[in-house]
Structure 1
Amino acid sequence: MYISYLDRLPVEILHHILDHLDTQTILFSFRFACKRFHSIANSYNYYDFNFESILKTKFLYMCCIIPFEQVVALTLSDKDNTHGQIKVFNSLFNINQFIRLRSLTLIQIETHDLKVFLNYAIRSSLLFLSIDCQTTRIHEENTALNLISSTIEHCSLKKLNLSMRPKDMKELQWPLNLTISYLRIKNSITCDQFYTILQHSPCLQTIILKDFNVDDTSEKNLPCFNHAPFLQIKSLTCEDGRIQINKLEQCLTLTPALVYLKLIGCGNLFCSTFDGYRWEQLIKNKLPLLEKFDFLISAFTHVNFDTSSVEQMISSFRTSFWVDEKHCLVTCDYIICSHKLLLYTLPLCTDHFVYYNTDTRKVSAKNFTLTNNYSTMMDNAKKLHLHLTKFSNVDEIDKVNHLLFRNVTAPTIATNGGWPDDSFRFFSTIIDLSPIETLSLSIRFIDEYTPIIVHNINQALKCSPNIYVLSLHNLWSADNFASTVETIYSMITPNIKYLDIRVQNSDDVKFIIENFENLKDITFEYVQNLILNRGKFIEVLSDMKRHVSRWESHCAFHVWLDKA
C-alpha cells in the first residue's frame, strides 16, 4: 500500500514549500490534492499574484477565488498580451481590500488607473513599488505626478522602480524620503536630478538608471559639484544608455564611496570610452573604495576599421591595476559583418548578448588566458541573439566542448537568408535548451530551406520542455510576402501557448485561431505597406468563438483568448 509522507508534514514546512511555488500551481494543483492541502492553501498568508502573462479565463477564475487579505505581492499588466487587465481588476476589486500587500507592480498602466493605486499606496505598508507608465502622458495631469511625489514621501518604501516618459521624469518633484535604499529609474536623468535624489534620500544605497544626460549647457557648472559627497551610495548602474566618460566623471564626484559600478551602453571611439588607462585614472582619482567594475560597452565603427586596434585596446587593460588589483577579466570583440565593437568584462554583467557561430565573423582579444571555469562566464545571459551563418567546416561544431550558455530563457535565432546545415546540432551544443521559455525566429521561409528549417525548429521545440512562447519575426517584404501559416502549423508543438506571427490576410487569422488550439493569446503582425483590409480582420475576429479581447497597436492585432 502506497503511503504519502508529504501530507504528514507540519503546516509550517508545507507553507515554506508553498513559498517556492507560483500561485497558479498552488491554486490549481496543490490545493486540489487532498482536503488537508485545500485547507492549508486557504490559510496560506503569502500569496504572490503575478498576472503579467496569463490566460484570460484563468485570470477571471483566479479573481473569483483570490484571498485578497492573504496577498503580499501583486503584479498587474496592461501590455499587449493582457491589455485591459487592470481595468477588469479594478471593476472586480477595491485595492484597499489588500491589507497585507507589501509589493505592487503596475505595468503599462494608464493615468486614471494609476491614480487609484497611488491613493492606496500613500496609506499602505508597501515595501516595494514598481510603476511603468512609459506610454502614458501623465505630464498632462499634474495630479498624477503629485501623487507619485506624495507616495515617495509618505510611503515606507524600501525599493522603488520608475519607468515613465523623460519629460514626466524631468517634471517630477523628488521629495524627501527617509526609507528608500534601492531605486531604479529606466530613464536618463540630469546631474541636477541625480544630485536632488541623493540629497533627499539619505538611506539610498543602490541606484540604477539609463545614463546621465548633461547636454544642457546650463548644467556645465552646477553648484552641486562643489557639494560635500554623498557617502551613502554604494552601488551605481547605468544601462542601455550612452557611456560618456567625461560626463560620467562629473557625476561620480558625488559618490566617492561606491564599491560597485556597472556600465552597459553605447560608447564612443573618440572619447576614451575604450581606453583602459583612462578608466584606471578615473577609478583611482574618483572611486578609491571601488571593489568591482563591470561593463559592456559597444560602438559602431566605419567600414574600414583597422582590426589590429582590437589588440591595442585590450592592451590598455593588461596593467597591474586591472589584472592583479581589480582581477578584471576583459574581452574585446569586433564583429566584422556589422562593424560593431564590443568591450566587456567577464563574467558577463548583462542578460543580453549577441553571438556569431563562427570566429571568421569576428576578431577577439582578452587580457586573460582561458581557464577551466570559463564555461560559467556567460551564465548571466538570459536573452541571446544567435546569428547563424554558414559553417566553413562542420567540424567547427565538434570543437565546442562545453555549453557556452547555460541559463538562456529567450534566444533569438537569426539568419541572413539561408539556413546552415547542422544548425540544430550547433545551437543545442552551445545552449542548454531546458531553461528556454521564449524562442524568436528572425528568418525567411525560402522554399529551398523550408524543410530543414521546419525540421530544425521542430527538434528545438521538442527538446525545450519549458518553452511556451514562439515569435516569428519573418524578414518578408511586400514583393516576396507569402502565407506560411500551414508551414508553421506543421512544426509547432502543443507546449506553445503564445504566438507572435506575421500574417498576410484574414484567412491566416482564421486558420490560426481555429487550428492552434493550445494558444492562450496571439499577436498578428502585418507589413505596413501591404494592402490589408483591417475591417475584414475585425469581422473575422468577431465571428471567432475563442477570443475574448482584442487590442490593436501599430501594424498588429493582439488577441487574448478565452480558452486553450
Structure 2
Amino acid sequence: MSHCCFFDLLPAELLYILFNYFSGHEILISFYGLSGYMNAILRSYSSYKLNFKSISRFNFDLICRNIRSEQIISLILCDSDDTSGQSELFFSYFQIEQFIRLQSLTLIEIEFKSLEFIFYNLSKLKQLRSFSFDASTIRHTYGPMNLNFGNKLQQINSILIHTYVQILPQLNCSIDKLETITHLAPQLKSFDVCINFGEINFQPIILPIRLTRLNLKIAYFPMPMDYMEYFLSNCFYLKHLELHLNGYSDLADGQCWQILTNSLITFNFKFDMHICFDCIEQILGSFRTSF
C-alpha cells in the first residue's frame, strides 16, 4: 500500500498561507521529506523568514542545503558563543547578491569580518528595508572584539566611507550625527530618522540629495513652516514622505503643503500643534481640496 500524505491533498496556495505562521527553520524541519509534493511546495515557497539564533548545526546545514537565497525575505544571523562562526559559514553557502527578495537583515554579536563584508555589499540588497546590528557586541575571531566602543565605531565609519549605503536602520540622532551620515552615505535612498535638537538653537537639516523615501520625526521642538519649506526644497528626488512634527498653526497650512508635496507619490503626516480654537475651521478648510 502506497504511503499517503494528508498535506498532498491541499493546494499550494493554502500551504503558503499556513507557512506564514511558522519561521523558516520550523517549515523545513516540519515538512521537508514528507512527500515529493511537499518538497516541491517547499522549493516554490518564496517568503522564508530565517532566524539562526541558537539553532543547531544540523538544522542550520539542513536549511542552507534545501533553500535558495531568492526565497528568503528575512534573515537573522548570530555569531554568539553557541553559534560562533555562523555568519562566515552562511556566506560560504550563498552569494550576497543573490538575495534579491531580502527585506530585513538583523546581525547579533556579529563577527567584524562578516560585518565588514556585509557593509561593502549592502548596496546589492536591492529590496532591503530594515538593517540592524549592535556595535557594542561586535566580535573578532569568534570572541569579543578587544576595542573600546569608540574605536569600534571609528572602524565602522571608515568602512562606510568606502561604500554606497542604500538602506540604513532607523536612527535616533542629533543634527551633528545626521550631518555625518549625510557625508558618509551620499547615495542614501531610503531613510527613517528621529532628530533630537536638544536645544532651542537649531541648525538647518541637510539630507542626502538622492533620497526617494523619507520617514522623519523631529522631537521636542516646534517646527516653523518656513523651515520645512527650506528643508524640502533640497529633496529633488523625494517621492515618499512621512512626517511626525510639533508646531503651531503655520505648520497646518494645507495650501502650502500642496505646493511642497505636489511631486510626491505618497505623503503621510502627523502634526501635534498648539493652535487657537477659532482657527480650527480655517485650518481644516485649507486641507479640503481635491489634492
Name the TM-score class by shorter chain.
0.5 to 0.7
Any idea what the Cα deviations from partners look like across 1:320-369, whole Å, max 9, x if unmatched?
Answer: xxxxxxxxxxxxxxxxxxxxxxxxxxxxxxxxxxxxxxxxxxxxxxxxxx
Are 1:260 and 1:290, in contact at CA under 8 Å, matched by a contact in 2? Answer: no
Any idea what the Cα deviations from partners look like across 1:403-453, whole Å, max 9, x if unmatched?
Answer: xxxxxxxxxxxxxxxxxxxxxxxxxxxxxxxxxxxxxxxxxxxxxxxxxxx
RMSD: 4.9
By percentage of residues, which structure has more helix? Answer: 2
Give the C-alpha shift of residue 222 in structure 1.
7.3
Task: Give, in whole Å, the separation in 1 of the partners of 2:172 and 2:83.
Answer: 18
> TM-score, normalised on structure 1?
0.35
Give the counterpart of 1:92 among 89, 93, 107.
89
Q: Where in structure 2 are the equivalents of 1:15-94 lying within 5 Å?
A: 15=16, 17-31=18-32, 33-34=34-35, 36-51=37-52, 54=53, 56=54, 58-67=55-64, 69-70=68-69, 71-76=71-76, 83=80, 88-94=85-91
Give the counterpart of 2:230 among 208, 221, 225.
225
- Between the two structures, name the one with larger relative contact order (CA 8 Å, sep ≥ 6): 2
Give the counterpart of 1:145 among 145, 157, 160.
160
Give the counterpart of 1:237 among 244, 260, 263.
244
Q: Where in structure 2 are the equivalents of 1:487-526 lying within 5 Å?
A: none
In structure 2, the CA distance between the partners of 1:10 and 1:225, relative to structure 1 (3 Å rule), is closer
Match of 2:146 in 1: none
Are 1:259 and 1:290, in contact at CA under 8 Å, matched by a contact in 2? Answer: no
**What secondary structure does 2:127 align onto?**
coil
Any idea what the Cα deviations from partners look like across 1:129-186, whole Å, max 9, x if unmatched?
Answer: 42344656464133233256x122xxxx6xx533376565441124245x64xx3225
Letter in 1 for 2:154: E
Q: Where in structure 2 are the equivalents of 1:303-382 lying within 5 Å?
A: none
Give the counterpart of 1:200 among 195, 210, 221.
210
Any idea what the Cα deviations from partners look like across 1:389-411, whole Å, max 9, x if unmatched?
Answer: xxxxxxxxxxxxxxxxxxxxxxx
In structure 2, the CA distance between the partners of 1:232 and 1:128, relative to structure 1 (3 Å rule), is closer
* Aligned length, in residue pairs: 248
Q: Where in structure 2 are the equivalents of 1:159-198 lying within 5 Å?
A: 161-163=169-171, 166=174, 168-172=177-181, 173=183, 174-176=185-187, 180=190, 183-186=191-194, 188=196, 192-193=204-205, 195-197=206-208
In structure 2, the CA distance between the partners of 1:139 and 1:192, relative to structure 1 (3 Å rule), is farther
Any idea what the Cα deviations from partners look like across 1:511-545, whole Å, max 9, x if unmatched?
Answer: xxxxxxxxxxxxxxxxxxxxxxxxxxxxxxxxxxx
Task: Give, in whole Å, the separation in 1 of the partners of 2:108 and 2:282.
Answer: 38
Give the C-alpha shift of residue 48 in structure 1.
1.8
Letter in 2 for 1:200: R
Give the C-alpha shift of residue 121 in structure 1.
1.7
Q: Percent identity?
A: 11
Are 2:50 and 2:74, in contact at CA under 8 Å, matched by a contact in 1? Answer: yes
Any idea what the Cα deviations from partners look like across 1:492-519, whole Å, max 9, x if unmatched?
Answer: xxxxxxxxxxxxxxxxxxxxxxxxxxxx
Match of 1:405 in 2: none
In structure 2, the CA distance between the partners of 1:262 and 1:10, relative to structure 1 (3 Å rule), is same
In structure 2, the CA distance between the partners of 1:110 and 1:27, relative to structure 1 (3 Å rule), is closer
Letter in 1 for 2:103: S
Task: Give, in whole Å, the separation in 2 of the partners of 1:164 and 1:130.
Answer: 14
Give the C-alpha shift of residue 122 in structure 1.
2.4
> What are the ranges of 5 or more consecutive residues in structure 2 without an aligned counterpart?
137-148
Give the C-alpha shift of residue 65 in structure 1.
1.7
Are 2:48 and 2:73, in contact at CA under 8 Å, matched by a contact in 1? Answer: yes
- Please say which structure displays the higher CA radius of gyration: 1
In structure 2, the CA distance between the partners of 1:226 and 1:263, relative to structure 1 (3 Å rule), is closer
**What secondary structure does 1:161 align onto?**
coil
Give the counterpart of 2:268 among 248, 257, 260.
260
> What are the ranges of 5 or more consecutive residues in structure 1 without an aligned counterpart?
216-220, 265-272, 292-564
Match of 1:277 in 2: 276
Give the C-alpha shift of residue 207 in structure 1.
0.8
Task: Give, in whole Å, the separation in 2 of the partners of 1:30 and 1:283.
Answer: 61
Give the C-alpha shift of residue 289 in structure 1.
4.0
**What secondary structure does 2:131 align onto?**
strand
Any idea what the Cα deviations from partners look like across 1:12-49, whole Å, max 9, x if unmatched?
Answer: 55345434532133123233544542453245443221
**What secondary structure does 1:75 align onto?**
strand
Match of 2:142 in 1: none
Task: Give, in whole Å, the separation in 1 of the partners of 2:231 and 2:16.
Answer: 53
> TM-score, normalised on structure 2?
0.59
